[in-house]
Structure 1
Amino acid sequence: MSMTDYKFKMRVSFDLDEVLFVDPSTHKTEKELIFPLNKIFKERLRLGTPELINSLQNMGYEVWVYTSSFRTEGYIKKLFRLYGVKFDGIVNADRHLKEVQRNSKTVLPQKIPSRYHISLHVDDEEVIASWGREYGFSTYKLDAQDDDWKDKIIQRAEEICKRKMESNG
């Protein structure tokens, strides 16, 4: 059964730094953009990023960025468009502060994907996983080079989707 057969839309989000944007000296990366684009967009994408995002979307998942960086939505959209990727939603630090933190006296975590109905968030920080348990979202911790990362994330998304389907009967 594919996601398109389900009655709900499942969202998967990715952090940028150390998840989709990685250091080419420690991670395999996509080919660098051509000059002069490589001078405007200096970040390097983890190898397989466009393939994974497009695969998830073809399976019926919405794919978002949820980052604590202040990069603009326009910058993120343009960079990924050059790699053939179009996100379904983007939450940066500005949007998070405006829509999640708002006027709350309590300082909230820098990411709360459940506020955007995101079922799975991929991040490199352990603290995000602990917040997931507290704020009701699932996480996948990704940081080191891993040639199987795409398959593992798809598998994790399918597990969560299956659990949601079973609990929704």
Structure 2
Amino acid sequence: MRIAFDLDGTLIESAYALPLKSKWPQLVRKFCGIESLREGTLELMQYFQQQGEEVWIYTTSYRNTFYIRILFLLHGIVISGIINQTVHNRILRKNAVWPLCSKYPPAFGIDLLIDDQEGVKIESERYGFKMIWIKPEEKDWTQVIIDEYQKIKRQHV
């Protein structure tokens, strides 16, 4: 299964303060521009990779895909694929899906999207793709995702 995570508000702090964790000292992060990840991100992604799943990033950010790949490598996470806003626009325009929705995982072979935006949840219902909606304030967010993933996985069998 190909599982994609949103960045801002899901894995990286944005408008809502998230509990963050980084193995890099603050001075190094600030000087090198290394963003901290939400606490539990490394363990969650390792869990999915141990399950044999591909871990992707799907963001509406214009961050460079190379930067995103390096950011996760610096945190010890190998990402299988990255869709940023530039890639999203190029592929969906080419396939005449754009601008119907902000994210459309089926266009990239993504089976499950994990995102914090309620609007994306509405789009998932409207366009029929699987999504786990995780609120930024959710304290036990990794367990919520694992529980929902396991329900979805059982439905696929």
Q: What's the TM-score once normalised by structure 1's chain length?
A: 0.82
My pick for the range that moved more, 26-35 or 61-70, is: 26-35
My pick for the range that moved more, 83-92 or 38-47, is: 38-47
Flag the 1:103–1:31 CA change in 2: closer, same or farther, 3 A: closer
CA deviations on 1:111-149 (whole Å, 9 max, x unpaired) are 101212222211111111111122221111223333321
CA contact (8 A) 1:140 1:156 kept: yes
Q: In the alignment, is residue 89 of structure 1 matched against residue 81 of structure 2? A: yes
Note the 1:15-54 alignment, pairs <5 A: 15-22=6-13, 26-31=17-22, 33-34=24-25, 35-54=27-46
Q: SS state of the match for residue 36, structure 1?
A: helix
Unaligned runs of 5+ in 1: 1-9
Aligned partner of 1:151: which letter?
Q
My pick for the range that moved more, 93-102 or 73-82, is: 93-102
Instruction: Calculate percent identity across the aligned residue pairs.
Output: 32
Separation of aligned partners in 1, 2:15 and 2:136: 12
Separation of aligned partners in 1, 2:16 and 2:125: 33
2:148 equivalent in structure 1: 156
2:48 equivalent in structure 1: 56
Flag the 1:54–1:106 CA change in 2: closer, same or farther, 3 A: closer
Aligned partner of 1:117: which letter?
G
Q: In the alignment, is residue 67 of structure 1 matched against residue 59 of structure 2? A: yes
Q: SS state of the match for residue 37, structure 2?
A: coil
My pick for the range that moved more, 27-36 or 64-73, is: 27-36
CA contact (8 A) 1:23 1:44 kept: no
How many aligned positions are there? 156
1:122 equivalent in structure 2: 114
Aligned partner of 2:123: which letter?
W
Unaligned runs of 5+ in 2: none
Q: After the TM superposition, which segments of 4 or more aligned residues of structure 1 sit over 6 Å from their partners? A: none
Flag the 1:144–1:103 CA change in 2: closer, same or farther, 3 A: closer
CA deviations on 1:39-70 (whole Å, 9 max, x unpaired) are 33353211010110111111111111000101
Q: In the alignment, is residue 13 of structure 1 matched against residue 13 of structure 2? A: no
Aligned partner of 2:20: which letter?
T
Separation of aligned partners in 2, 1:127 and 1:117: 21
The structure whose Rg is larger is 1
Aligned partner of 1:78: which letter?
I
